[in-house]
Structure 1
Amino acid sequence: MQRHLLILLLVFLTFGQLAAQQDYYFPGEKFDPSIPSPKEFLGYEIGEWHTRYDRLIAYFEKLAFSSELAELQVIGQTNQLRPLVVLIISKKENIQNLENIRKTHIQLTDPKQTMPDVSQMPAIINLAYSVHGNEPSGGEASILTAYWLLASQSELAKEIRENAVVLIDPAINPDGRDRHTNWANMHKGNPPVADPLDREHNEIWPSGRVNHYWFDLNRDWLPLAQVELQSKIAWYHSWYPNVVGDFHEMGTNSTYFFEPTKPFGSENPVVPRKNYEEINNKFASYFAKALDEIGSLYWTKEVFDNSYPGYGSTYPDIQGGLGLVFEQGSSRGHVQSSQRGDITFAFTIRNQLKTSIATMEAGVKEREFMHRYLREFFQTAISEASRDKVKSYIFGDEHDASRNRLFLQLLLDHQIKVYENDRDLTLEGKSFKKGKSWVVPTSQPQYRMVRSMFEKVTEFADSVFYDASSWTMALAYGMPYAGQTAFSASKEITTLEKPELHFPSSANYVAYLLDWSDYFAPQFLHQLLSAGIHVEVAAFPFTSSTDAGTKEFPAGSLIIPTAFQKTGPDELRRQLQIAAVKSGQHVFATPTGLNLKGIDLGSNNVSAVRIPKVLMLIGQGSSQYEAGEIWHLLDTKVGMPITKMDISLFGRVNLYDYNTLILPSGFYSALNSSQISHIKDWLSRGGTIISLRSASQWLQSQEIVKEEYLADSPDQGPDFASFASRRDLEGAQAIGGSIYLAHLDITHPLGYGYRNHELPVYRNSSIFFKPSKNRYQTPVRYTANPLLGGYISKPNLEKVKQSASVFVSPVGQGRVIHFIDNPNFRGTWFGTNKLFFNAIFFGDKM
């Protein structure tokens, strides 16, 4: 009897708790009992705990197993090997016919194909959550959204299942999400603590916002530096969703934001006005209604940016869909105090759930309209291209095959049509060689993405930017390019074939030679140094008689003598070939040290390359983004391990175990006077510091270097201004991210491997140092008219013209290399990465 009473009590409690959850999230709704609820599967109500990603995926697997209306697909994996998944939900007939539905839908993106009957086509709706891992309400809302859509017996759920294919992406950033999930759960109090100062609400460095390599994935839809977005974009172009919901969180004292964003000022210049002026407003009414029903406050048309193409809410706008950013005031834990009282995790989840359902409802109600808009978008792309004076862009660097391939791959990943250039041309003073350059026609469905890759924009409707104001990818890649008033090419490039590499046949050689111009030459060098091979670098150019005939080698070229090696000639050749194949390098050999022109191989202007022993300081007070960019760059492009040491451990380090210290942006206030003295002593005895942006200000404040700032302009604006204008006036003086033309000294060790004196650089700070007092140590300085793309105020532009982009401070026998402009920004500035490589490998040559 007692056993039966216990069972009844447990059943009562279970149904009571389930009812409590349903009353809060789904008041008055009935659900299919054959579909397990989140509470039944996870053992807690959504909002009581943060759900680990593996449990979330397990629940999605259970849903797909339990219902014929769902299918779970794996579209990739993260750096930490977590699966990237999409749960697809629709009526049974659609699930069984997904491939035909997809193919028919894709026809809408090709104006050459017959228009399908859109009245018979389901809406394609993508709900994407938790691109920032510490914005967790979205991932929890994905669980409830999937359950509701599969199990709800409401008429709205039935209508959506009948007329849509819903693609639920529960977490674009699983690695970061789990980092934050574990943090919040392990610091949860019982009862939970609402005090914003509680440890639960204040993550340690790095935060869960970022992925494995500490990248912000919501900036990666355009550059595709990270595996998560590489997988996402490949999947995206297999579907071209009509509507994409992009769910975020913001500060705890905020309410809820949904589009439209700020008119004109926050809008992308290539997106049709129809998207912003008609479609956004059409959808906004659904979101307002959903939040009004539960009494949640919200706002629109302010702050949040839709201009940068690399956002998850902007990229769909440039692909004929509607991208929608949602921002929920965050509890950053289980409950947190705000100006409106305590904000619970469940409250934030419910708002995201309501707008998720509203997104699906709007997508279904506006289904035929959005299908027609998708076709119209690509049709108007062709018609707009016909009015563009530029009919094609030609690009290519004849000296850097690897960087060409990287840029080609980016274009192909974004479905941009590219053709081989079939003739030698000179345009705008740049030479484009047949076989080493390519042509992109503007007349193609992806015309608007072509503009995003090549256009330089310097005029704007607003002067305040949430993020970057320029994103010309051809400049980021340092790619020589020019616009043409005609298009002439025949062979389209659809895949990149493996390049054929030159390697000398077996013979007696004095030395092997490698041109440092190729992007992956540093990978080759690191591979050799790691294998114990002695390598030297030439400070001046030379022309040598090689196994492939007469070859010119610029300053920075590598010389691998057959003498002075610890290995025999056969092992040397083997190591060289391994490194060449891995890095995609052409290797040449010469039987003589007497060169035809320039310095000889035994010149005093040839010196040994040391093995880099690199330490990077990270942790609280330093930029997780810049540190991650450096880590990712050296991991993936060089294959070189570096020591990443938390600032708090600096007291344990002996700097003399290293020859290079990297300081990402930050103010290293945790270091005490004796530790700073250790840095000064090590530096003066020959160490190399590579300093980025504000780290150079810290070095200056500690008198480790003694450089000079540019003085502020005397004209700082009006003496009096309205309080309401403060954001616009002050914001206009910020440099959110713009591109400038600099002059590069290619004879300086930092300039090794470059052939062109002009170099685009990216600036996103208002730090202005004067050029070095040493006339030889400012290898990168701005030109007289430097602005290439983006917004900058006139006073700041004048300061840019007078300041240094990269300069070197000699300190005793050592040096500090200052990068005031980040050469590794977002993992996509391939054009300036080599400056950073040179700082690591040739720092002691300065």
Structure 2
Amino acid sequence: MKRLLAVLSLIITLSLSAQELKSPSEFLGYELGTRFTRHHRVVDYYQYLSEAAKDRVQLNEYGKTNENRPLLLAYISSVANMEKLEAIREEHLKSTSGTGKSTKAIVWLSYNVHGNESVSTEASMQTIYALLTSKQSYLENTIVIIDPCINPDGRDRYVNWYNQYKNTPNQLNPESKEHHEGWWSGRSNHYMFDLNRDWAWLTQIESRQRLRYYNKWLPHIHVDFHEQSMDSPYYFAPASEPFHEVITDFQRDFQETIGKNHAKYFDANGWFYFTKERFDLFYPSYGDTYPTYNGAIGMTYEQGGGGRAGLGVITSNGDTLTLKDRIAHHYTTGMSTVEVAANNVTRLNEEYQKFYQPKNYKYKSYILKGSEDNLRTLTQLLNEHEVSYSYGTGATVKGFKYKNGKSGSLKTSAKSIIVSTNQTRGTLVKVLFEPNAKLSDSLTYDITAWSLPYAYGLDAIASESLISGTSKAETPVKNEVLNTNTYAFLTDWDGMDDARFLAELLQKRIRVRQAQKPFTLAGKRHERGSLIITKSDNDNKAEFTKILSEVADKHHKLLTAVNTGFVDEGKDFGSGYVQMIPAVKVAVLAGKPTSTLRFGEIWHFFEQQLHYPLTVLDENYISRVDLSNYDVLILPGGKGYESFIDENTLSQLKEWVSNGGRLIAMGQSIASLDGENGFDISAREKEKDSTAKLVEPYETLQREKMKNEITGAIYKTRVDYTHPLAFGYDNTYFSLKLGNDSYDYLEGGTVAYISDDTMPVAGFAGSEAQKKVSRSLVFGVEKHGNGQVVYMVDNPLFRGFWENGKLFFVNALFMAN
């Protein structure tokens, strides 16, 4: 009887609690779906629920955005589960080692990674309210984690813009201004990065902060809520091919299980949807693939709408799509997902344990050596992913050698890194390090190659044997007290720590020289690009050695002190081949000619990676700017240059370069500099096939088109390492090629280039595209009057993760003068 009374008391308590909780509409003061909710009000609602239902909701602020908005996680479950939440988490994680006996399912729902896909956050509020009221039964054996807004900066950018430009009441006509965002849309974060492509690379502060908490839970299911074109029906799992080969049969099958449950509700409402198209599971840095490679059922859900839909819009087929409709659809799939999880707890836990059992992958260990800067940066990434690694013992290992694409060997050292698949994150290791991911279908949604040894420019071996190593503590680089009477201090130039060291010295008005020829002094060889910091150049700088020592230690730089500028071999320090490095004034073009993503990569690089000042010049007023105030002007990639760089603008650019300016043209901007009145760059066309064209069936046209495409493939390029643009590199560079743009070699300025070998070392390149990029430029420099134009056909700053390309960009700023 007492037990029955206790149960009845609990039911009454929950019922009263449900009645007392305010719905989103009641709390916000307007019906959900009739306005867009600013982020601070979303935060207010979640904080309200965490107080009003504190026995069932735990709210955690896991970080801040670049614009200082809070990032939140809400943990929701039954009273009994919340009382032992930490114990449930610990038991769940034991499953990764095969010892867990968890009886709960963990579901993580992520909303609004793209800021202008704004229905997501609205739907999250409806979802958490339902879980605490009408759908409480789902929580008896399920923990639901909700991130209501992954990208608050982008979301508020969109919401504020929409509120400024919308009609009153809102206008359904898609031609109205409220359905056309400007150049800087709300999709991206503060630095215009796409956070949905940053899960693996962790270049952005939102991604890094989120992953620390994701790794604490490693859920069974992760859903990333999105929007697509306003004319598209809803998309949900199962995903399309290609699936990466590491994805298990269960992960495939359970996507089908979830999709069929969604379809049941959509069918009942007469809502349209599609599955198994467009959205694949291959590229590892998405909100569906990254969780999948860590054992989850990772899924993308796509509602039609996006930034164009506003509060309501008439679609191309004449239907009216409202924000309320979009909320209903995302709410339905979210609740359906939790329902399926609650009904399949045992199966989810059993299969989750199986995922983490040892795998017999072909390559058991990856051994890497090379630039200490790049190795250090790689270990920082591995630490954030909680991937274990060890260091070499001096043994020689054999296996697939990345640099030549054949069998080879590599002698390890105490600085070499060994990363094995024989660990908890072994599947993730395989995906990120394998030389060439197996591609089951060339029609993909994103790039098809990303292997970290290539991205970090490291000499690497993939071994079919398990290679053991040793652990060691990181020893901070620290110089001895610098002698104020030393003639000069020398250091090398081969990575981003060197670049940051130089950038800070220049800003502190420390004068630095570069060696354009290799030299030997006191029995030590110094390569091209080595930095030379002399006492005489800095005689007027107070506390010169103190500043130099502090900056060197900060950036892990060991300085070599020398007491003469008379070298054993090479050029003396007073030679014309030892030049002063200027503290260049840099500007970058922003606005419609440029891609927001390409501009954002440059902006982020200067402010968060190089830490060097950058002036942003918008296309609306750059014609009124005196460019003689700047040493360097960067043109980011973009599709709008044809109308921006007219004959007059091109003439002004040529005059500025001729007077000593340096123009860095990247990606698609290069095409606007070609032509009879342009610079010397010349687009390269593949030879036309004289044979008659074949008639292709309509349904195969898309695949036929792929013959002309390169979908993010890695190419081995040749490098003229004697050129200042290539200082710090050897005679090869692995470049991530994102398209088939092709330009002829430059006379006297071809620095990195593709020769006759047009097969990529990894990723997909169509047969016709391969012909087009044969004997084409990758990076080059054209002298024009007293200045230069630096051409970067491939993007060394792409998504901020191609670490080995960044020094080319720094060289373009400081070395190629």
Deviation at 1:706, TM superposition (A): 2.8
User: Is 1:834 paired with 2:811?
Assistant: no
User: Is 1:481 paired with 2:454?
Assistant: no
Per the alignment, residue 718 of structure 2 pairs with 743
CA contact (8 A) 1:402 1:518 kept: yes
C-alpha distance in structure 2 between counterparts of 1:229 and 1:314, whole Å: 15
User: Is 1:42 paired with 2:28?
Assistant: yes
CA contact (8 A) 1:395 1:432 kept: no
Per the alignment, residue 312 of structure 1 pairs with 287
User: Is 1:710 paired with 2:688?
Assistant: no
CA contact (8 A) 2:366 2:461 kept: yes
Q: 1:407 aligns with which of 372, 378, 383?
A: 378
Deviation string for 1:585-607 (max 9, x for gaps)?
11221111111222221122111
User: Is 1:813 paired with 2:786?
Assistant: yes
Deviation at 1:503, TM superposition (A): 4.4
Deviation string for 1:15-68 (max 9, x for gaps)?
xxxxxxxxxxxxxx9992211111222111111111111110111000000002
Deviates more, 1:335-344 or 1:369-378: 335-344
CA contact (8 A) 1:133 1:177 kept: yes
SS at match of 1:645: strand
Per the alignment, residue 681 of structure 1 pairs with 655
C-alpha distance in structure 1 between counterparts of 2:662 and 2:410, whole Å: 37
CA contact (8 A) 2:121 2:149 kept: yes
Amino acid at match of 2:684: L
C-alpha distance in structure 2 between counterparts of 1:805 and 1:695, whole Å: 14
CA contact (8 A) 2:434 2:462 kept: no
Per the alignment, residue 513 of structure 1 pairs with 490
Deviation string for 1:436-487 (max 9, x for gaps)?
1011122223222111122122653222221111121221111221122333
RMSD (Å), alpha carbons: 2.0
User: CA distance change for structure 1 residues 567 and 384 in 2, over 3 Å: closer, same or farther?
Assistant: same
Matches within 5 A, 1:260-659: 260-262=238-240, 265-276=241-252, 278-330=253-305, 332-340=309-317, 341-379=319-357, 382-385=358-361, 388=362, 390-397=363-370, 400-425=371-396, 428=401, 431-457=410-436, 460-492=439-471, 497=474, 499-503=476-480, 505-545=482-522, 550-565=523-538, 567-568=540-541, 571-659=543-631
Unpaired runs of 5+ in structure 1?
Answer: 1-28
Deviates more, 1:728-737 or 1:461-470: 728-737
Per the alignment, residue 723 of structure 1 pairs with 698
Per the alignment, residue 7 of structure 2 pairs with none
SS at match of 2:18: coil
Deviation at 1:768, TM superposition (A): 0.7
Aligned residue pairs total 788
CA contact (8 A) 1:478 1:759 kept: yes
Deviation at 1:779, TM superposition (A): 3.6
C-alpha distance in structure 1 between counterparts of 2:249 and 2:417, whole Å: 32
User: Is 1:87 paired with 2:74?
Assistant: yes
Deviation at 1:812, TM superposition (A): 2.0
C-alpha distance in structure 1 between counterparts of 2:266 and 2:801, whole Å: 39
C-alpha distance in structure 2 between counterparts of 1:223 and 1:417, whole Å: 17
CA contact (8 A) 1:503 1:588 kept: no
Amino acid at match of 1:525: L
CA contact (8 A) 1:540 1:554 kept: yes
User: CA distance change for structure 1 residues 504 and 52 in 2, over 3 Å: closer, same or farther?
Assistant: same
User: CA distance change for structure 1 residues 140 and 830 in 2, over 3 Å: closer, same or farther?
Assistant: same
Per the alignment, residue 8 of structure 1 pairs with none
User: Is 1:73 paired with 2:60?
Assistant: yes
Per the alignment, residue 3 of structure 2 pairs with none
CA contact (8 A) 2:245 2:438 kept: no
Amino acid at match of 1:106: L
User: CA distance change for structure 1 residues 200 and 782 in 2, over 3 Å: closer, same or farther?
Assistant: farther
Per the alignment, residue 58 of structure 1 pairs with 44
Q: Scaled by the length of structure 1, what TM-score is found?
A: 0.90
Deviation string for 1:227-277 (max 9, x for gaps)?
111122221111011111111000011110011122xx331222123322x
C-alpha distance in structure 2 between counterparts of 1:31 and 1:723, whole Å: 59
User: CA distance change for structure 1 residues 554 and 783 in 2, over 3 Å: closer, same or farther?
Assistant: farther
User: CA distance change for structure 1 residues 684 and 217 in 2, over 3 Å: closer, same or farther?
Assistant: same
C-alpha distance in structure 2 between counterparts of 1:733 and 1:644, whole Å: 35
SS at match of 2:230: coil
Deviation string for 1:561-605 (max 9, x for gaps)?
11132525x611122123213322112211111112222211221
Deviation string for 1:671-718 (max 9, x for gaps)?
554333221110111211111111000111483313322223434995
SS at match of 1:209: coil
C-alpha distance in structure 2 between counterparts of 1:717 and 1:94, whole Å: 70
Matches within 5 A, 1:179-258: 179-258=157-236
Runs of 4+ displaced beyond 6 Å? none
Q: 1:692 aligns with which of 643, 666, 672?
A: 666
Per the alignment, residue 26 of structure 1 pairs with none
C-alpha distance in structure 1 between counterparts of 2:706 and 2:177, whole Å: 32
CA contact (8 A) 2:733 2:752 kept: no
Deviation string for 1:89-135 (max 9, x for gaps)?
10112112111010000011113xx241x4xx221000101111110
SS at match of 2:293: helix
C-alpha distance in structure 2 between counterparts of 1:419 and 1:461, whole Å: 33
SS at match of 2:757: strand
Unpaired runs of 5+ in structure 2?
Answer: 1-14, 402-407
C-alpha distance in structure 1 between counterparts of 2:73 and 2:624, whole Å: 46
User: CA distance change for structure 1 residues 783 and 491 in 2, over 3 Å: closer, same or farther?
Assistant: farther
SS at match of 1:183: helix
Deviation at 1:512, TM superposition (A): 1.3
Deviation at 1:776, TM superposition (A): 4.3
CA contact (8 A) 2:756 2:775 kept: no
Amino acid at match of 1:404: L
CA contact (8 A) 1:417 1:440 kept: yes
C-alpha distance in structure 1 between counterparts of 2:600 and 2:379, whole Å: 25
Deviation at 1:81, TM superposition (A): 1.7
C-alpha distance in structure 2 between counterparts of 1:499 and 1:780, whole Å: 37
SS at match of 1:206: coil
CA contact (8 A) 2:671 2:683 kept: no
SS at match of 2:656: helix
SS at match of 1:368: helix
Q: Scaled by the length of structure 2, what TM-score is found?
A: 0.93
User: CA distance change for structure 1 residues 728 and 777 in 2, over 3 Å: closer, same or farther?
Assistant: closer
C-alpha distance in structure 2 between counterparts of 1:419 and 1:144, whole Å: 47
CA contact (8 A) 2:753 2:778 kept: yes
Per the alignment, residue 11 of structure 1 pairs with none
Deviation at 1:786, TM superposition (A): 4.8
Per the alignment, residue 8 of structure 2 pairs with none
SS at match of 1:589: strand
